[in-house]
Amino acid sequence: MEALQKRAQAAGVACAVKTVTGGHIAEEILKEAAQGYDLLVMSRPFQRGLEVVRDAPSAILKAAPCDVLFVRREP
């Protein structure tokens, strides 16, 4: 993630990397999105430890106040 952040900043794109560590994933991401973002770029799959969280992406897509881009996490 740090490499992607540095690449974006080098291209003149303001960005911040944030990680959700507690609470309900979709709710926490939507709270953050309400702060005025133009675009959310999120990695998939959503995981918390060994648990794969399946409902969060659709909930975020339905309620996000901005565009959402899902990207595949590097292996």
pLDDT for residue 75 = 61
Convert the pLDDT of each residue in 15-67 to its tens digit.
888 877 777 888 988 999 999 989 988 876 666 555 556 778 888 989 999 99
pLDDT for residue 66 = 94
Question: What residue ranges do the domains of the chain occupy?
Answer: 16-72
Q: If we measure between CA atoms, which residue out of 75, 14, 22 comes closest to residue 41?
A: 14
Strands 47-48 and 39-44: unpaired
pLDDT for residue 46 = 64
Long-range contacts of 53-58 (CB under 8 A, 24+ apart): 53/25, 55/26, 56/25, 56/26, 56/29
DSSP at 24: -
pLDDT for residue 11 = 93
